[in-house]
Amino acid sequence: MSTSEKPVVLVTGAGQGIGRAIANHFHDQGYHVVATDYNDALFEDLKGKEGYTTAKHNVASIDDAAAVAAKIQSELGRLDVIINNAGINAYLPVVEAPPQRTIDGFMVNTLGPLIVTNACLDLLIASKGTVVNISSESAPLRTPFQFYQSTKKALECLSDVMRRELGVHDVHVVIVRPGTIRTDMTDTSKLVTNPVENSRFAKAFDVFAQQLSAQMPSKKLSVADAAEQTFLAATDPSKPVLYTYSNLLKFKIMARLPAKFLDKQVIKMLKA
């Protein structure tokens, strides 16, 4: 077993977008980066590059996580930071679409970070490392026709449990709640269509899609800026519990409104 002289960071979902930007930023800061993604073809430019180790990795797979942890142990001998960045999103009628779509969302977005952390537990304890779980500014507010916000809210709750357990071994867990970032996920929001044929929610979904397009923030943070903020959250000596950046005031206000009031307003809008 070799031991890396550099600190080591594992970044999931690092094939593109914010994950790749995070990986590159940590690399620039002197870290050896273990970049993983379910599509390892995205790593052709990194394979064999100094300071990078790549691996095919479905974060919802216990076996994949174990294989990544074993690779880190055997090739690098240490792990200082995990950035649980991998995530999926979809717009669909949650109660009507095949339930597996939502189950998959929770497996990747909520349970994926737990699976990865569990596999790397001994490495994290040895380094007294840090786990960064990427959430979303929208987590406090759940809107219809998407599971994403619910998976992120659940991730934040699970992160609290993880932090209070791992604190026994001086391992820290920080939730990062970013605002809107310029990625494929946000740039294609205007193309949202209902994936369910003959949907019972066809009209309401069309209203939702129109509102989503109209209210998408025009100002989005670059992936480079988001990567820098994620690095700061991971390395902040004050060990923040919740690290937020570029969050919209609108979400903060709406999240504080009574649920019954929000229910009434949202349903009224969808019935229009």
Residues involved in catalysis: 148, 152
pLDDT at 185: 57
Task: Write down the pLDDT at residue 187.
Answer: 55
Per-residue pLDDT for 188 more than 70? no
pLDDT of residue 47: 86
The residue ranking higher by pLDDT, 186 or 232, is: 232
pLDDT (tens digit, 9 = 90+) per residue, 123-163?
Answer: 999 999 999 999 999 999 999 999 999 999 999 999 999 99
Choice between 255 and 169, residue whose per-residue pLDDT is larger: 169
Better pLDDT: 115 or 251: 115
Please report the pLDDT score of residue 62 as a whole number. Answer: 98
| Percentage of residues of the chain with pLDDT beyond 90 | 83
- Mean pLDDT, residues 106-116 taken together: 98
pLDDT of the residue at 2: 66
Going by C-alpha positions, the residue among 102, 90, 81 that lies closest to residue 6 is 81
Instruction: Report pLDDT for 181.
Output: 86
* Confidence class for position 180, pLDDT limits 50, 70, 90: confident
Class of domain 8-271: alpha beta
- Residue 66's CB: how many other CB atoms inside 10 A? 14
pTM: 0.94
Q: What is the mean pLDDT of the chain?
A: 93
Domain residue limits, the chain:
8-271
